Amino acid sequence: MSQQGVQTKYMRRALALAKKGLTTTMPNPRVGCVIVNENEIVGEGFHRYSGGQHAEIAALEKAGEKAYGSTVYITLEPCNFEGKTGACSLRLLEAGVKRIVVAMKDPNPRVNGKSLKEFENSGIEVNFGVLEGEARELNLGFTKRMETGLPWLRVKVASSIDGFTALRSGNSKWITGARARRDGHIWRARSCAVLTGVGTLMSDNPLLNVRAIKTDRQPVKVLVDPFHRTDFSLDFFKASKVIIASLKKNDSSSIYNSKFSNIELLEFNPKMEDPEKFSLRSLMLELGNREFNEVQVEAGFRLTSEFFSEGLIDEFIVYISPRFLVDGLGFLGASVKAGVLSDKPGWKIKEAKLIGGDLRVILRPVLKFT
* Positions marked catalytic: 56
> Three-state DSSP class for 309?
helix
d(CA 121, CA 105): 17
DSSP string spanning 61-126?
HHHGGGGTT-EEEEEEPPP-S-SSS--HHHHHHHHT-SEEEEEE---STTTTTHHHHHHHHTT-EE
CB 240 within 8 A of CB 209: yes
Q: Are strands 99-104 and 125-128 parallel, antiparallel or unpaired?
A: parallel
d(CA 163, CA 143): 32
Task: Say whether the peptide bond before residue 27 is cis (omega within 30 degrees of 0).
Answer: yes
Helix axis angle, 55-63 to 88-95, nearest 10°? 20
- Identify the helix (H) or strand (E) that includes residue 60: helix 55-63
d(CA 346, CA 193): 27
CB 335 within 8 A of CB 274: no
> Three-state DSSP class for 224?
strand
- Identify the helix (H) or strand (E) that includes residue 4: helix 3-18
d(CA 176, CA 165): 10
